[in-house]
Amino acid sequence: MLIQSARPLLFSLLSLLSATAAVASPATDKVLQNVRLPGGFQLEVYADNVPAARSMARGSEGTLFVGTRGSTVYAISGTPGTGLKPTVRTIASKLNMPNGVAFRDGALYVAEINRILRYDNIESSLTEVPPPKVVRDDLPKDRHHGWKYIAFGPDGKLYVPIGAPCNVCNEPKYASITRMNADGSGYEVFARGVRNTVGFTWHPTTKELWFTDNGRDYLGDNQPPCELNVAPRAGLDFGFPYCHGKDVKDPEFGKLGECANMTPPVQTLGAHVAPLGVKFYTGTAFPEKYRNQVLIAEHGSWNRSTKNGYRLMLVRLDGNKAVSYESFATGFNRGDDVFGRPVDLLVLEDGSMLISDDTAGAIYRLTYSAT
């Protein structure tokens, strides 16, 4: 009888443990064994039971929200760097590619393919999440490049990309970055000619929008380059579909415009590297030479004969001018053997940086200590 009566308590304890303890991942072990970093930098696993982890946003009380390109959104509670396993909760499921997440005024914004949702007072209701409010539901329904990265700009507006529904095509209502007020009103196109951006940020001083863009496929292994772009104001055209990189005319759509008339990238990146998350390093924990410099998560190629990407890259700046494009963290793959694919970056208050990995299903923490 004693054993029988103890079963409910045992099951409750097991359920609690499954909700609070991360599960060890052989994939993250491979990443940590193979990653190569500059001297003084270390990479550790913050959470490794976050399947398909993609875009990240931090709540005002420290909760880390993580979107996916599947159907799930996660909330992770626990301070990075303490060595304690965080609590990973599924707070939304059965959504339509909820890749994008953003946080503002206590609310979590989630971008599905065709709509923006808002979960109010989310950090006080993680265990019983109420139904979301629909901010806007008239975005295109195309799944090709339909997953979205979203973020609030210094102007208080929510920026939402509309990816081209193709490898390369001329569809005027797509290939853009749009923005809207937090309540969904005031919807407008901010930039055009953007094939598929899945990461953007704002310069810490000038407040200009910087974004990555994925280049088209099927022009060979080494053409065209992917891009890092800067939009100092609204209304600029970044060339898609008629021009790629700085001066690569599209063989089919090149007649639609002249490369000389578009806004060129501030830095061309590797071909097919799939640049996603981009952040300025705004902390003080890394050495001075990294401060206000650009870090990019390159997700990695999918159809190049020799794989390219699968790394973090550093773009050094002199003012607003890029002066170098160099490897920062490599080793997420070894040839065709892929251990991880970095997606998004997030600078924390202590100066460390979080990196999401949708292949290993993990969030890493990047730190520096002088040697």
* DSSP per residue, 85-105: PPEEEEEE-S-S---EEEEET
pLDDT the model gives residue 305: 93
Determine, yes or no, domain membership for 166.
Answer: yes
Measured between alpha carbons, how far apart are the two ends of the chain, in Å?
60
C-alpha to C-alpha distance for 216 and 46, rounded to whole angstroms: 34
pLDDT band at 26 (very low <50, low <70, confident <90, very high): confident
Longest dimension (CA), the chain: 83
- Of 13 and 56, the structure prediction assigns the larger pLDDT to 56
89 falls within a domain: yes
Q: Residue 242 belongs to what domain range? A: 23-368
Quote the DSSP letter at residue 217: S
| Rounded Cα distance, 181 and 283, in Å | 28
Number of folded domains in the chain? 1
Spatial distance between the Cα atoms of 171 and 241, rounded to a whole number of angstroms? 9
Is it the case that residue 137 has pLDDT exceeding 50? yes
pLDDT band at 21 (very low <50, low <70, confident <90, very high): very low
CA distance 104 to 121: 10
Distance CA 253, CA 341 (A): 32
Interatomic CA distance for residues 100 and 64, integer angstroms: 13
Residue 242 lies in a domain: yes
Is residue 215 situated within a structural domain? yes
pLDDT at 271 over 60: yes
Res. 165 pLDDT band, cuts 50 70 90: very high
pLDDT > 50? residue 140 = yes
The token pair that represents 302 in the structure block: 């999918």
Residues 142-164 as b/e (b if ≥16 CB within 10 A, e otherwise) read beebbbbbbbbeeeebbbbbbbb
Q: Does residue 7 lie in a domain region?
A: no
pLDDT level of residue 23 (50, 70, 90 thresholds): very low
pLDDT at 11: 30
pTM of the model: 0.93
Q: Quick one: pLDDT at residue 347?
A: 98
Mean pLDDT of the region 182-201: 98
**Tokens matching residue 240:** 């898609």
CATH number of the domain within which 229 lies? 2.120.10.30
Sheet with 53-58, strands from edge to edge, namely 53-58, 64-68, 73-77, 87-92
As a whole-number percent, the residues of the chain with pLDDT over 90 amount to: 91
Residue-level pLDDT at 83: 87
Q: Within a domain: residue 102?
A: yes
* Domain annotation covers residue 4: no
- Alpha carbon distance 265, 104 (integer Å): 30
Name which residue leads in pLDDT, 3 or 63: 63
